[in-house]
């Protein structure tokens, strides 16, 4: 069986055939860098990292582009609230996202383009659309004419008459459903020159320009979160195909991380930031928790489920270390068991793949108990190979500097610090600023720096 993936556009499972044999081209919508990343943000990066590893397992050349949206209404608002330049606010949080992806073992993207670096390509795309009668300008704004493109709605399955863009700005629109390609400059906002006047890009335009710049007019896979299907991806596809590009041959969408049944989002106040999570569990354990469910299933976050994942991961780690103690170094070269391969080829069915991995762990433990070290080594090599595809190989150099003992000390420290931070927050609420400052100073003397952020107080060791 070859890889089959669920294609959102056709609403069906399709066998994956790349445009060029031995290669794969993937564009993933990355972060709008407005704040600290949470586990809902990074799930997409992890899911498509697993896809990339699976496609590359036999030597295929995979090009993965994950963009950075570094200019946006939310970024401008957040920067203004904190009296920071918009570019400084965006770059600070771009680095935070990079740290989160790196900490969780995501392979670096082949390219990570920023929206602000591709205005020239956006202008060219808008000109093509205007020349073909699919876009128009009004007083410096440029809009896409949805009625000019009969295929509009094909990706999301929505009928045009039932749609609205949700945009509040409607200056000069021919139809309220037309979406913005370019926003005319406002006083005090950043802007770039175009033939239609100074302004800044619309969200949808940037991804079409960057995807085709790095992957060509037609490429293999476009990915992103479920919430992006409409309007973002619908608009991307419409503007790209209207301009004459084939754009994505397959569309893949990962589902959300939820709390209490709601999508995790800063606006709802139900986020769990990556820095906070990594004070509770090791990065490889958090990654295991997030990649084990199927990418097309929701994850309902709970501490109990997270701890179950930690326990499950420990079984893999314990087995491999026990084998290594008895037979020496375990090579990353084993064949993957057939059940694992079938599961991964079936739309990246990671729950079944993880089950196959644990079944091999059980077989290896039985071999160890029977004293059959050759069979135990063979099982361990197989386990390493499968775990590496998921990015959670316990013997990888990536994870070797994070021992359970170190984590235990970190968890104890976290418990103590968090108690002091709760006390400090209570003091601040009661306007006992002397007590609040004293607690902060005590932590600082102990080598712990505290920063008050929109996501609550964040602490770090001064030598981290």
Binding residues for ATP: 266
d(CA 222, CA 7): 10
3-state secondary structure of 394: coil
Contact between 348 and 54 (Cβ < 8 Å): yes
- Angstrom CA distances, 134 to 49, 143, 269, 275, stand at 35, 9, 39, 45
Quick one: how many helices (H) and strands (E) in the chain?
14, 15
d(CA 402, CA 15): 39
d(CA 111, CA 245): 21
Contact between 264 and 298 (Cβ < 8 Å): no
Phi, psi of 164 (to 5 degrees): -145, 150
Phi, psi of 402 (to 5 degrees): -120, 80
Taking the chain, what is the end-to-end CA distance rounded to the nearest angstrom?
Answer: 47
Q: Classify residue 230 by its DSSP letter.
A: I
Residue positions counted in the chain: 464
Q: Classify residue 229 by its DSSP letter.
A: I
d(CA 158, CA 162): 7
Phi, psi of 15 (to 5 degrees): -70, 135
Provide the edge-to-edge strand list for the sheet that holds 141-144. Answer: 135-138, 141-144, 179-184, 199-201
- Name the binding residues for Zn(2+): 29, 207, 232, 236
CA 59 to mean position of chain CA atoms: 24
Q: Are strands 179-184 and 199-201 parallel, antiparallel or unpaired?
A: antiparallel
3-state secondary structure of 279: coil
- Name the binding residues: 29, 207, 232, 236, 266
| Torsion-angle region of 11 (φ positive above 0: left; ψ -120 to 50: alpha; else: beta) | left
């Amino acid at each position: 069986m070859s890889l089959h993936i669920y294609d959102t556009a056709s609403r069906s499972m399709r066998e994956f055939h790349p445009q060029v044999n031995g290669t794969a081209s993937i564009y993933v919508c990355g972060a709008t860098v407005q704040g600290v990343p949470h586990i809902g943000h990074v799930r997409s990066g992890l899911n498509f990292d697993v896809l990339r590893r699976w496609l590359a397992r036999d030597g295929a050349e995979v090009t993965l582009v994950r963009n950075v949206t570094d200019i946006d209404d939310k970024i401008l608002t957040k920067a203004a609230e904190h009296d920071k330049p918009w570019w400084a606010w965006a770059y600070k949080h771009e680095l935070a996202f990079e740290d989160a992806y790196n900490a969780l073992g995501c392979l670096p993207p082949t390219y990570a383009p920023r929206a602000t670096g591709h205005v020239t390509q956006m202008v060219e795309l808008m000109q093509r659309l205007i020349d073909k009668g699919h876009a128009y300008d009004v007083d410096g704004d440029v809009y896409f004419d949805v009625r000019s493109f009969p295929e509009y709605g094909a990706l999301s399955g929505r009928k045009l008459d039932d749609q609205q863009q949700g945009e509040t700005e409607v200056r000069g629109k021919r139809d309220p459903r037309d979406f913005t390609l370019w926003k005319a400059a406002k006083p005090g906002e950043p802007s770039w020159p175009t033939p239609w006047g100074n302004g800044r890009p619309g969200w949808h335009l940037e991804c079409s320009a960057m995807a085709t710049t790095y992957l060509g007019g037609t490429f293999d896979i476009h990915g992103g979160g479920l919430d992006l299907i409409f309007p973002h991806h619908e608009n991307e596809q419409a503007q790209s195909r209207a301009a004459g590009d084939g754009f994505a041959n397959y569309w893949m969408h990962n589902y959300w991380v939820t709390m209490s049944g709601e999508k995790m989002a800063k606006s709802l106040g139900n986020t769990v930031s990556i820095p906070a999570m990594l004070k509770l569990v090791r990065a490889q354990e958090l990654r295991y928790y997030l990649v084990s469910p199927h990418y097309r299933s929701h994850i309902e976050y709970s501490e109990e489920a997270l701890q179950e994942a930690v326990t499950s991961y420990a079984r893999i780690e314990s087995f491999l270390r026990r084998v290594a103690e008895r037979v020496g170094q375990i090579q990353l070269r084993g064949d993957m068991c057939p059940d694992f391969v079938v599961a991964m080829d079936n739309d990246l069915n990671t729950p079944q793949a993880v089950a196959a991995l644990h079944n091999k762990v059980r077989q290896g433990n039985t071999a160890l108990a029977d004293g059959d070290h050759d069979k135990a080594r063979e099982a361990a090599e197989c386990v390493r190979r499968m775990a590496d595809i998921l990015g959670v190989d316990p013997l990888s150099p990536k994870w070797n500097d994070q021992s359970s003992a170190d984590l235990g000390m970190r968890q104890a420290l976290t418990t103590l610090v968090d108690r002091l931070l709760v006390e400090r927050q209570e003091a601040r609420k009661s306007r006992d600023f002397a007590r609040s400052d004293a607690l902060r100073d005590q932590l600082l003397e102990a080598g712990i720096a505290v920063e008050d952020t929109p996501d609550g107080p964040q602490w770090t060791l001064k030598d981290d």
